[in-house]
Amino acid sequence: MDKVRKTFDKWAENGRAELMELEHGKNVSKFLDSISFDSKFTFLDVGCGNGWVVRKIANNPNCKKAIGIDKSKKMIIQAKKKDGSKKEKYIHADIESWKHNGKFNFIFSMESLYYAYSIEKALKKIYRLLSPGGQFFCGTDFYTDNKATVRWADIMKIQMHLHSKKEWKEFFKNAGFEVRAKHIRDLKNRKKWKRDYGTLFIIGTKPK
């Protein structure tokens, strides 16, 4: 078993899944609430954890289907326990090897893509899974511009690919996306980096 999967299996058992929801929920909700889901859509969450984003999206009346995948089997077990809608589906898989024939209008990933064996390979797969005109939203607090978080890899002792905002945008462009970036800050948070830098969202649009 790889170290990333093993770590997140432990987190699923010790309550860290709920802590991640608490830590990231405010900025993620602020970001997602800024997106116009104004027509029927399908949604995929890559690295869904206990499924909190999938559940939020499934509540949108225009959502036809919301799927969450995670390489941690125990995270998927937690997600299925919390399953609240027939629109939701949770699958134990990593994005690189997942076999899926359909397309999605929106794909989301929060604090998970930098754990991939290859960011380039993961992005190419995500690009293929998007419908023309579809969008991929990739959120991260772990990037070189945010000096307070760069030590996370040493603390976690697992593979985490650290890149700058500029490098992230370049990855997306190389995969074929039209790309822009957005920072979501929590101005009232006690942590200075959450106020000053916040969560970096890279938004990739697949050309029509």
- pLDDT interval class at 111 (50, 70, 90): very high
Read off the pTM: 0.93
pLDDT value of position 83: 67
Higher pLDDT: 129 or 4? It is 129
Category of 24 on φ-ψ map: left (φ > 0), alpha (ψ -120 to 50) or beta: alpha
pLDDT value of position 79: 93
pLDDT surpassing 80 at residue 141: yes
Give the closest residue to 49 by CA, choosing from 86, 80, 87, 88. 80
Q: Pairing state of beta strands 178-184 and 130-140? A: unpaired
Task: Work out the average pLDDT over 156-166.
Answer: 90
Q: What is the CATH number of domain 3-205?
A: 3.40.50.150
CB 201 within 8 A of CB 184: yes
pLDDT surpassing 80 at residue 167: yes
pLDDT value of position 165: 96
Q: What is the pLDDT of residues 34-76, one digit of tens each?
A: 999 999 999 999 999 999 999 999 999 999 999 999 999 999 9
Residue percentage of the chain with pLDDT more than 90: 70
- pLDDT interval class at 12 (50, 70, 90): confident
Give the separation between CA 131 and CA 128, rounded to whole angstroms: 8
The 10 Å CB-count burial string (b at 16+, else e) for 138-172 is: bbbbbbeebeebeebeeeeeeebbebebeebbebb
Domain ranges of the chain: 3-205
CA dihedral 135, 97, 167, 180 (to 10 degrees): 0
Residues 6 or more apart whose Cβ sits within 8 Å of residue 141:
24, 111, 149, 193, 194, 197, 198, 199, 200
Ranges 1-5, 181-185, 204-208: which has the least confidence: 1-5
Q: What is the pLDDT of residues 67-109, one digit of tens each?
A: 999 999 999 999 999 867 899 999 999 999 999 989 999 999 9
